[in-house]
Structure 1
């Protein structure tokens, strides 16, 4: 069982202001801060959601953290795995501070961390495709590269990183091209708890073509995600499905219903009307832009030419290789469209 011992970046004193705490919150990578009193005893825990709710109520950034922390935080007095699991099962929480008899924090257990020892794919490469121009969000992306578009107190790509870090993943590859120096500069100035390597495309090679030139840097099974989608799925279940199916490529699918805004005619072969259906709802399983790929699939990508993910999928199917889907029904947000971007902001603020 993994217990987080290095707590320096995520620990603050109760007298500092919310403004001062934001740097710790952004660099900590767990979306929460541990708060201590001046005598180093435990005062409480605060999440990024607590801060957002405070600010939405016209809260002041100069308010002290101590004024808004959760006074009744759930704690543990032991690092015993069974006891911590029981606490997580009884409470809808992601973090449990572990205290000693002097009421001082000695470690932090996180819900995702408890079972890390059973997750064989915890060290898998997480490849984020951040080289595109983000034309759907122009003119905003004429100035800011899509990965750095703000979401709450951080950026879209950091939200993606956080969704993996909170489940124990730590090995990120960021493929860059458009406005690459801005992206590099941003992360070079940012303190973070995960491993991050920039992979620079020699030229734009489509949605998947650029992956092949970096194959030696990737694990046998790796995640590929667009840099404009955020999801709260359990990635370990996704990996389990991929491995069980012995798939070359697994697609995260989403059941999505669309309502036709008009009455629909039912016609026979002679174009005679046999019935009508008023504003029917159609349900499809769509591609979310998140995949798990086995390195063997890279052999089907041609060298040095533009190649799309759709082409790879069709080529694998044509060659009778297993392509499967792990289907979810909600918890996915496409920031590449302004309407979905607004929904994501609302989700984060809730």
Structure 2
């Protein structure tokens, strides 16, 4: 067993390097190795994102997210034993170690196993895209093309790469155009199912129109987002944490046009002149367990915040997944032009 390229990082590497290698190797894991490939620890995609939520710096060291006592397996472990370990601990990959030295990494994919039931997806494309008028007077926003593919096709391709095979498109504005342009979805690697809203249903209402026999997790996404999010990493995160709902977040900077006072009680410590406030805001992509859909009112408008509030109120585990990849909410024709340029120069691969 030989080590494939991109499976390891060194102690002096940054979290950004670790993240880039995880994206490239598709294992959701990199091993931190020393001299002679001695295994020092591992970093999973989930551990890296949890570290970012706790304030880690992508340009800081790998020690911010490294497990010093990772789950490992012997080279002698059978396929059955490896699958049992991965499923028990809800992990995609496991390092193979001999005498403390990394000799390989095995994953669910190569072992022919699965973790969770097959996911499905719902992409909401019923909006009118009024912020992008006049571009959307004749063409719905999700069908506007960026780099040769429409916005919604980019989303669906990313979902298909994560194992999604059935995608439900919730339609309202210019519904026929979507069916004419996208057809069966075969060219995207999925089966497309079209769900027509008789009225505007909000960001969650159309979930009540889905089949009642869904078993796997449901990826829910706004159909007008441009992002390079790793949907497999999102699904792995959701599976590992045994969540009922996982909400994606993206960092948003808000300039404060005043000097902000730093103080304790009535004692002034200093003034921060026009700082930027950093918040993690909802990114319009969610993973929802099928049983949670019972909280969606039947054939009535409802929003994702309402569904999340009901789940939290019932004490169901709900988690946050920070998006570290590219993410754009195109709110104006000028922003659309900027994103077009971004993808034209190949920056989407960053």
Mapped to 1, the partners of 2:328 and 2:193 lie a distance apart of 25
Aligned residues: 251
CA shift for structure 1 position 290: 0.4
Counterpart for residue 227 of structure 1: 223
CA shift for structure 1 position 143: 1.6
Mapped to 2, the partners of 1:189 and 1:238 lie a distance apart of 25
Give the match's secondary structure for 2:341. helix
CA shift for structure 1 position 243: 2.2
Mapped to 2, the partners of 1:302 and 1:114 lie a distance apart of 37
CA shift for structure 1 position 306: 1.1
Mapped to 2, the partners of 1:258 and 1:226 lie a distance apart of 23
CA shift for structure 1 position 202: 3.0
1:1-350 correspondence runs (5 A): 86=4, 115=110, 117-121=112-116, 123-188=118-183, 192=187, 193-216=189-212, 218-265=214-261, 275-338=270-333, 340-349=335-344, 350=346
Give the match's secondary structure for 2:155. helix
Distance 1:210 1:171, change over 3 A: same
Q: CA RMSD in A?
A: 3.4
CA shift for structure 1 position 217: 6.0
| TM-score scaled by length of structure 1 | 0.62
Mapped to 1, the partners of 2:226 and 2:334 lie a distance apart of 14
Counterpart for residue 44 of structure 2: none
Mapped to 1, the partners of 2:234 and 2:111 lie a distance apart of 15
Larger Rg: 1
- 1:11-33 CA-to-partner distances (Å, cap 9, x unmatched) read xxxxxxxxxxxxxxxxxxxxxxx
Give the match's secondary structure for 2:242. coil
Give the match's secondary structure for 2:119. coil
Distance 1:206 1:190, change over 3 A: closer
C-alpha contact (below 8 Å) 2:122/2:219 kept by paired residues = yes
Give the match's secondary structure for 2:226. strand
- 1:121-148 CA-to-partner distances (Å, cap 9, x unmatched) read 4831111111111222222222211221
C-alpha contact (below 8 Å) 1:113/1:168 kept by paired residues = no
Mapped to 2, the partners of 1:179 and 1:165 lie a distance apart of 25
Give the match's secondary structure for 1:210. helix
C-alpha contact (below 8 Å) 2:165/2:191 kept by paired residues = yes
Distance 1:137 1:217, change over 3 A: farther
Mapped to 2, the partners of 1:329 and 1:238 lie a distance apart of 11
| TM-score scaled by length of structure 2 | 0.62
CA shift for structure 1 position 275: 4.8
C-alpha contact (below 8 Å) 2:128/2:173 kept by paired residues = yes
